Structure 1
Amino acid sequence: MELIYSEVQSVDKKAEILADLIDRRGSRRAFAEEIGIPPTTLQSMLTRGVGRASVDNVIKVCKALGISVEELEQMAAGKKDVFTLAAHHEGEEWTEEEMEEIERFKEFLRMKKKGKNDE
């Protein structure tokens, strides 16, 4: 029973993350129209959970937000902080190589920060 609760909690977390990232961009309706899905479909995804949405729609939403489905999973699990990355780069198109470079730079800064804290 706890596994089911955990999965439901995770689904809600994914929808919450997506809603937050979309809301930072502006109107949910405009976002849905921009990516080519009905606004009602997007709203259903955000209220009923990502797990109930079609895979294609989840991919469209994530891609438009500049994150991968894997990053969404990691964020929902608390293993990755992509909020900052997505917020600072919204509206800009980044190639996969550029995103990897940004991630490497973020890791470099984390290590540098950790080094300062250890001193």
Structure 2
Amino acid sequence: MSLTVKLTDLMTERGINRSELAKGSGVPYTTIVALFDKGADNIKLSTLRKLADYFGVTLDDLAGHGESNQQDTHTIAAHHDGEDWTDDELEEIERFKEFVKLKRKQQE
């Protein structure tokens, strides 16, 4: 499921339009319009985070891949010998991983 389809579904569930999404998420209305009109090829990670946070979903959920797997985060961190990761850093690694998967999916 594409990002715009997922966003449309989430907006429908909440009974909101693009303008209300922009106001509620803190993403400029022009960015929301461009996302729907031109696609998500160049969407910023910070924009994805705002949208995911607004709807209370993970980046993975927003991208339509289901729930994120926290175990993957710990596996990634385990490959960095000698480095200790904070919970915030592990979350950031997971978000970046989800962003990369989203970009890959959009290119298919």
In the superposition, the TM-score normalised over structure 2's length comes to: 0.51
Among candidates 38, 42, 62, match of residue 72 of structure 1:
62
Structure 2 CA distance for aligned equivalents of residues 60 and 22 of structure 1: 14
Shift of 1:68: 0.8
Shift of 1:61: 0.5
Shift of 1:40: 1.4
Task: Note closer, same or farther for the CA distance 1:60–1:37 as it changes in structure 2 (3 Å cut).
Answer: same
The answer to whether the aligner puts 1:39 opposite 2:29 as a matched pair is yes
Which residue does the alignment assign to 1:115? none
Q: Which runs of 5+ in 1 are unaligned?
A: 1-9, 82-119
Shift of 1:32: 0.5
Shift of 1:24: 2.7
Which residue does the alignment assign to 2:93? none
Which residue does the alignment assign to 1:15? 4
Shift of 1:56: 0.5
Query: How many residue pairs get matched?
Result: 66
What RMSD in Å do the two structures reach over aligned CA positions?
2.1
Which residue does the alignment assign to 2:80? none
Structure 2 CA distance for aligned equivalents of residues 35 and 46 of structure 1: 15
Identity of aligned residues (%): 21
Structure 1 CA distance for aligned equivalents of residues 12 and 30 of structure 2: 15
Q: Which runs of 5+ in 2 are unaligned?
A: 68-108
Give the counterpart letter for 1:19 in structure 2: T
**Over alpha carbons, which structure has the higher Rg?**
1
Structure 2 CA distance for aligned equivalents of residues 68 and 51 of structure 1: 19
Matches within 5 A, 1:31-110: 31-73=21-63, 75=64, 77=65, 80=66
Q: Is the 8 A contact 1:37 1:57 kept in 2?
A: yes
In the superposition, the TM-score normalised over structure 1's length comes to: 0.47
Give the counterpart letter for 1:17 in structure 2: K
